[in-house]
Amino acid sequence: MNHSMPLILLLSAGLLAACALPSQQSQPEPPKSQSLIASGKDPHSYSNPEQIKVRHLDLDLRVSFESKTLEGRATLVLDRAPGSDTAPLVLDTHDLKIARVESAEGSGTFRSSPFKLGAPDKILGAPLEISLFGKADRVRIFYSTSPAAAALQWLSPAQTAGKRHPFLFSQSQAIYARTWIPLQDTPSVRLTYTAAVRVPRELRALMSAENDPQQPRSSTYHFRMTQPIPSYLIAFAVGDLDFRPLGKRTGVYAEPVIADRAAKEFEDTEQMLAATEALYGPYRWGRYDLLVLPPSFPYGGMENPRLTFATPTIIAGDKSLVSLVAHELAHSWSGNLVTNATWSDFWLNEGFTTYVTHRIIEAVYGPQRSAMEQVLDRQELLGLMKTLPAADQILHIDLAGRNPEEGVTEVPYVKGALFLRHLEQAVGRARFDAFVQGYFDHFAFQSIRTADFANYLQQHLAGLHSTPVPVDEWIYQPGIPTSAPQPVSDALAAVEKQAEQWFSGQLPASQIETSGWSYHEWQHFLRSLQSPLSAARMAQLDAAFHFSQSGNAEILQQWLLMAIRNDYAPANAKLEEFLVGVGRRKFLKPLYSELAKTPIGRKRAQSIYRKARPGYHPIAVATIDAILNWKNPGNP
Ligand code: BES
Ligand code: ZN
């Protein structure tokens, strides 16, 4: 951590003269190259980009659903730093089978190059060390993936909505790109890419690149991503996919049987895009399309450039869960344009994105809805904080030796967003919006550290505000500063009151005033109910509001969680159906963890998991295996 200077942005204009902070005008900006990663190594990559940097990738891959492998070659174009003539090229790999390696200089012929695959680490995989001859600046690696590659999920036709064709998709964030491509798998390195992908003729292939919605089905698809992106944003999917336009620049790909429903749910996407541009400047990626994946997708959404990957569980029928689209769209600025250079800086991606999401929702759906989402977010953060060790409550988190996924909690998302909201409130919206837009422009297409943000903040926002913002505490300390903003929603406050009255027996379920409640109010209602509740009281709620039948996955998941806590047996079948049918990790983790708290629950969890596990993505499998101690179920 290099934050020797304590950062506290304070001070009213009157105090400014006495302030030790230099004013923004007199401070020259550090040269860009200096402000970047050069200063510190990414602990989650074996690569040596300070000596040799991969600047372009050309992929040629054949997809085999029979063997569940990708096979082909990756050609890497290298920039070699002066003085590193003898340095080997070190790449990240995980479960890759390397057949041979060749290198060449410019357009010269490729010659076989010696290589060495190091011992594999459970988290990081194995370094691939390649000796380059002479001034070679091109390397090609002939390889195949393992059927167990963590980034890839191979779905049988039965696991898709249409039931007739197989499906394949990748999930590279955080460090799984290396399970399907040998490369420098660190977000500090940006590269362009081209690809040729060979697939069964009746399927459509898509990548996080230029996709042509009009492209007819073919056995080979060609892709181009001409803007430099970090490796975790390289993405790929193949399936029976149709396209529906949503606007001039936006559209949605989905399996034919759900394409119309998806298009209806996401019809506001173009408007969200326009709203974000009005706030933060032009969208820089050409098209913005969505891809709806089968329900085993382990995340809600993934911001793959030009093509957000999304879970079908956000198709609720009433657009109530589309803030996920706003979130992934927001990453087109925060994350994809300005990128965290290491996973310790993940909050720069997700905190900004969560803040921007709230702003998009406010612009498109109004301040009330945004306020409700902020309150719900904050509540989740506060609940989680109680269970997290202090070190994991820090925005700039130390993840060395751990899987970066362990840093994916409400902390980078919601604490990060609260910090930015605090700055907004301190300097006023107009100034803060200009600052954020300036930040995106200044660092566009760069990968930056937390310290780069802090320096930029100090230079461009210090002295402009009238109330203190403890920047240093926000970034480097656990907990939440006492001066943090407290979002309020009158609508949710009213819900809370009724929930309390019902809970304490003053108000029968039939008299709860629910007319006009949106998803957010229902969600808050459920979350406001304490446990324990008797089975009879659960049944009352279910009879009045049919939670067990809810078509909204968030509500259903919350209800099922309560059903486990309160031993509400009528929901058992629904719980099993949900756990077997949905693979979104955010839903699975709390449900399995809740079940695992009692011996009987654990047994039930194991018997459900036995059925569900073959349908889950490797990323979800790893998480649930750990919760249930699956590899060694005898030892709870
Ligand atoms: N980039 C994340 C997903 C992610 C983070 C994948 C870290 C792997 C490692 C994505 O933008 C995200 O945050 N998705 C959320 C939805 C969002 C609305 C909070 C999710 O999947 O739940
Ligand atoms: Zn995100």
Q: Is 33 a member of any domain?
A: no
Q: Is 406 a member of any domain?
A: yes
Judge if the beta carbon of residue 175 lies within 6 A of ligand 1.
no
7 C-alpha vs ligand 1 centroid, how far in Å?
Answer: 29
> Of the residues 173, 299, 323, which should be mutated to test ligand 1's pocket, given the most ligand atoms within 8 Å of the CB?
299
Judge if the beta carbon of residue 554 lies within 6 A of ligand 1.
no
Q: Is 446 a member of any domain?
A: yes
Would the pTM of this model clear 0.85, i.e. be above it?
yes
Cβ 180 vs Cβ 44: under 8 Å:
no
Token pair recorded at residue 161: 């909505």
* Model pLDDT, residue 529: 96
Q: What tens digit of pLDDT does each residue of 158-169 get?
A: 999 999 999 999
Residue 163: left if φ>0, alpha if ψ -120 to 50, beta else—which one? left
Q: What tens digit of pLDDT does each residue of 267-277 get?
A: 999 999 999 99
Residue 13 has pLDDT above 70, yes or no: no
Q: What tens digit of pLDDT does each residue of 473-525 get?
A: 999 999 999 999 999 999 999 999 999 999 999 999 999 999 999 999 999 99
Query: Looking at the structure, do residues 502 and 603 belong to the same domain, yes or no?
Result: yes
Judge if the beta carbon of residue 222 lies within 6 A of ligand 1.
no
Query: Looking at the structure, do residues 390 and 457 belong to the same domain, yes or no?
Result: yes
CATH at residue 397: 1.10.390.10
* Model pLDDT, residue 25: 33
- Domain endpoint, select from 452, 476, 500: 476
Judge if the beta carbon of residue 412 lies within 6 A of ligand 1.
no
Q: What is the DSSP string of 204-229?
A: EEEESS---TTPPP-SEEEEEEEEEE
C-alpha 289/C-alpha 250 separation (Å) is 5
Q: Residue 307's Cα: distance from chain center in Å?
A: 13
Q: What percent of the chain has pLDDT over 90?
A: 91
Q: What tens digit of pLDDT does each residue of 62-97 get?
A: 999 999 999 999 999 999 999 999 999 999 999 999
Atom 8, ligand 1: which residue's CA is nearest?
173
- Domain endpoint, select from 427, 453, 476: 476
Q: Is 422 a member of any domain?
A: yes
* Model pLDDT, residue 613: 98
What is the tally of structural domains in the chain?
2
Atom 20, ligand 1: which residue's CA is nearest?
300
Q: Which of 102, 265, 303, 328 is catalytic?
A: 328
Which ligand 1 atom is at minimum distance from the Cα of 619?
8
What one-character DSSP code corresponds to residue 412? I
The confidence band for 133, taking pLDDT boundaries of 50, 70 and 90, is confident
Q: Which of 193, 413, 439, 592 is catalytic?
A: 413
Judge if the beta carbon of residue 302 lies within 6 A of ligand 1.
yes
Judge if the beta carbon of residue 301 lies within 6 A of ligand 1.
yes
Cβ 590 vs Cβ 604: under 8 Å:
no
Which segments of 208-302 are extended strands (E)? 220-230, 236-239, 242-245, 250-254, 288-292, 301-302
Query: Looking at the structure, do residues 414 and 539 belong to the same domain, yes or no?
Result: no
Q: Is 546 a member of any domain?
A: yes
Query: Looking at the structure, do residues 352 and 449 belong to the same domain, yes or no?
Result: yes
Query: Looking at the structure, do residues 573 and 596 belong to the same domain, yes or no?
Result: yes
| Residue 573: Cβ-neighbour burial (10 angstroms; 0-12, 13-18, 19+) | exposed
* Model pLDDT, residue 31: 37
Judge if the beta carbon of residue 293 lies within 6 A of ligand 1.
no
The confidence band for 552, taking pLDDT boundaries of 50, 70 and 90, is very high
128 C-alpha vs ligand 2 centroid, how far in Å?
Answer: 30
Q: What is the DSSP string of 30-72?
A: PPHHHHSGGGS--TT----TTTEEEEEEEEEEEEETTTTEEEE
186 C-alpha vs ligand 2 centroid, how far in Å?
Answer: 17
| Residue 122: Cβ-neighbour burial (10 angstroms; 0-12, 13-18, 19+) | exposed
Angle made by CA atoms 375, 379, 385, in degrees to the nearest 5: 145
Atom 21, ligand 1: which residue's CA is nearest?
300
* Model pLDDT, residue 40: 73
Higher pLDDT, 466 or 65: 65
323 C-alpha vs ligand 2 centroid, how far in Å?
Answer: 11
Q: Is the peptide bond before 310 cis (omega within 30 degrees of 0)?
A: no
81 C-alpha vs ligand 2 centroid, how far in Å?
Answer: 33
The confidence band for 464, taking pLDDT boundaries of 50, 70 and 90, is low
CATH at residue 608: 1.25.40.320
Could you list the residue range(s) of the whole structural domain that residue 502 is in?
Answer: 490-628
Q: Is 353 a member of any domain?
A: yes
Phi, psi of 401 (to 5 degrees): 80, -5
Query: Looking at the structure, do residues 460 and 547 belong to the same domain, yes or no?
Result: no
Query: Looking at the structure, do residues 452 and 579 belong to the same domain, yes or no?
Result: no
Q: Is 328 a catalytic residue?
A: yes
Q: Is 413 a catalytic residue?
A: yes
Nearest Cα neighbor of 557 from 540, 571, 544 is 571
Encoded amino acid at 83, one letter: G
Which ligand 1 atom is at minimum distance from the Cα of 354?
19
Q: Is 519 a member of any domain?
A: yes
Judge if the beta carbon of residue 583 lies within 6 A of ligand 1.
no
- Domain endpoint, select from 476, 500, 516: 476
> First vs last Cα of the chain: how many Å apart?
37
For the sheet containing 115-117, what is the strand order? 89-93, 126-130, 115-117
Considering all CA atoms of the chain, what is the largest pairwise distance in Å, rounded to the nearest integer? 83
- Other C-beta atoms closer than 10 Å to the C-beta of 314 total 24
Query: Looking at the structure, do residues 496 and 612 belong to the same domain, yes or no?
Result: yes
